[in-house]
Structure 1
Amino acid sequence: MTKINLKPVADQVILITGASSGIGLVTAKLAAERGAKVVLVARSEKSLADAVAEIATAGGDAIYAVADVGNMAQVRAAAAAAIARFGRIDTWVNDAGTAIYAKLVDTPLDEHQQLFQTNYFGVVHGALTAVDHLRENGGAIITVGSIASDLPSPILSAYSASKHAVRGFVDALRMELIGDKLPISVTLIKPAGIDTPIAQNAAKHVDGEGLLPPPVYDPTLVARAILDAAEHVRRDITVGGAGRLQVLIGKHFPALLDVTAPFMEPMMSDPPRRPSPTTIFAPGRHGQERSGVQPGRKTSLYTAAQLHPAVTRTALIAGAAAVAGLIVARRRDR
């Protein structure tokens, strides 16, 4: 297998799509804080300009490029802007995404198609552009999927379908790059419920405002996972142990999952907490990192274990040895 060498984050140029809010914005700020040169990509120029100014004030080095990830020409132009300023791209992060709250039979076809244009084809455009720039010197392609990549979700049905498609694309791309012996790491990040504005910005064809089923996690956990994958070859990382548990139940007990569908529907507030336009077709209320509705957990032992496997193995071995020693000691006492 081709050896993949990933640089420390501080030595990297990192391009992030969906960087005007939520996970993308939190990741951009954290990457800049750690010394990376960052290229923020999204549709809202004002939000991007404000974010870059904030990063610069904090001592970071960043630029922005306005682009709709559903448009391949605009994605390529964003990559060209990164090359013009920094000379290269080391890590490409696909994060742009949107959502629809509706039953499939009630989902307007134009919204359904546009959601796939952003959530799926945005990843396709980003990944293919990244391969062109990384094939010679290597690097990382990191895509933010969801536990919905592994688990159907009623009412968030079209969103879940798009994330299933993303997983299929990412896994196949990884296999092809390995077969072509290209030094490119391909990682899928699968967050559980994360405290971002995605629910407030979603298109809605149900009553109330979308909420995420608890527990909800802070987006910083996802940002740390992304930057870990920028430095280490990771196949996939699930952020949030509760999400991983849901996936395991769905995988091993699919019939049970079917009959519990009514209980899995996303929570809705009634009435909506605040009116907000959807971001399906145009930029919305950006520059917002968190929802302000459901504060997220700051820690996840499961995610930490994935990011530090050697430490986790050592701790498990030490724990097992301690338990074994205790059992032997008790038997001797008898």
Structure 2
Amino acid sequence: MGIRLKQLEDQVVVITGATSGIGLSTARMAADRGARLVVSARNENTLVRLVEELRQRGAEAVHAVADVGDPAQVHGIAETAFNHFGGFDTWINNAGASLYGYMLDVPLEDHRKLFETNFWGVVHGSLEAARYLSTRTAGHGGAIINLGSLVSDRAIPIQGMYSASKHAVKGFTDSLRVELEALGAPVSVTLVKPGSIATPYAEHAHNLLEQEPSLPPPLYEPSIVAKAILHCAVHPRRDIRAGGGSKAIAMLDYFAPRLTDRLMGGMMIDQQKSGRTEHRQSFALHEPGTEMRERGNYPHHVSKTSLYTEASMHPVITTTVIAGALLGLAALSRRRRF
């Protein structure tokens, strides 16, 4: 069944985890493109600041305080959308946190809390959105966009439970998509799989290591993911990767899983350690953040664009450009021979 989605300027968009990183970048970009916004996070003061900024950008925006691990609070996000805008068109499940440490050292309650946010938060938001969007009988459908990760395909060490949660998000999202299609519901369900994105992710992550955590290169700007997310809010997609590094690791694991295991057990562990002694006492897994920052601090180069992601969003144009370039090279080669 073909699903028609509204243009972004005609949409009401719900974003969880909207006050930091990818969520913040997406909220700002959506506001600049004319969408009306319902932004959610755990800290009300930060949400108030964000809504004020979005309104200064010319967008209509409201906020809903919610811990996505609580289904009642997630229902409150939907109620906010109904009360202010009469409903919503796209629901983006972005809220998430990570946890660095060897799994044998991590308390079980921390493992469970991470799953409450990363997995059950996606479940609560997706089901809330699906129940509403499935009722549409005419005109445009709606979109559910879930944030997975490159670790939805390939688990990594010292973020093992985070990897497990993103595997679970992929399984849930794929099953939900098939069920909604079988029911004939006009709902697009997309899984976004970013690579290493230079957000405050590592700074906010719960950490049981002696060193401050980091992210392995290659690193990409949060705006690359935001652009991919908003593309999927308008163009139905099964999944999309943000950053070519995500595709590269998935392919390496597919073709050489044992080699990938060895690389992960050595290089990947070292690349997730900053070399700086850990002094922090609080982490976002249990306490909401108060900063509004898209970017984190990393010593590595951060790519501002991803040709792979651009190509995946515009395959026809990309194929045409490549074909034209090849024809041009062929013509140049013939001229040189004569």
TM-score, with length taken from structure 1? 0.95
Flag structure 2 segments of 5+ consecutive residues without an equivalent. Answer: none
CA positional deviation for 1:329: 5.0
Instruction: Spell out the pairing of 1:1-334 with structure 2 (5 A cutoff).
Output: 2-137=1-136, 138-260=141-263, 261-265=265-269, 266-272=271-277, 275=280, 277-294=282-299, 296-326=302-332, 328-329=334-335, 333=338
CA contact (8 A) 1:201 1:276 kept: no
* Counterparts of 1:285 and 1:109, CA distance in 2: 26
Deviations 1:148-189 (A, max 9, x none): 111110001111110011011111111111111111111111
CA contact (8 A) 1:200 1:276 kept: no
* Counterparts of 2:295 and 2:325, CA distance in 1: 37
CA positional deviation for 1:315: 1.2
* Counterparts of 1:267 and 1:163, CA distance in 2: 18
Moved more, 315-324 or 240-249: 315-324
Give every structure 1 segment of 4 or more consecutive aligned residues whose post-TM-superposition deviation is greater than 4 Å: 326-331
The residue type paired with residue 264 of structure 1 is: M
SS in 2 for 1:234: coil
Change in Cα spacing, 1:65 to 1:202, as seen in structure 2 (3 Å) is: same
Percentage identity across aligned positions? 45
* Counterparts of 2:45 and 2:254, CA distance in 1: 43
SS in 1 for 2:73: helix
CA positional deviation for 1:326: 4.4
Deviations 1:285-328 (A, max 9, x none): 43222113356321110011011111011112223333444455
* Counterparts of 1:221 and 1:272, CA distance in 2: 31
* Counterparts of 1:183 and 1:144, CA distance in 2: 20
Flag structure 1 segments of 5+ consecutive residues without an equivalent. Answer: none
CA contact (8 A) 1:277 1:284 kept: no
* Counterparts of 2:274 and 2:76, CA distance in 1: 40
* Counterparts of 1:275 and 1:221, CA distance in 2: 29
Q: What is the aligned-residue RMSD (CA, Å)?
A: 1.5
* Counterparts of 2:174 and 2:39, CA distance in 1: 25
Deviations 1:197-233 (A, max 9, x none): 1111111111211111112111011110110000001
Moved more, 260-269 or 70-79: 260-269
* Counterparts of 1:251 and 1:130, CA distance in 2: 33
* Counterparts of 2:81 and 2:286, CA distance in 1: 25
CA positional deviation for 1:38: 0.4
CA contact (8 A) 2:99 2:207 kept: yes
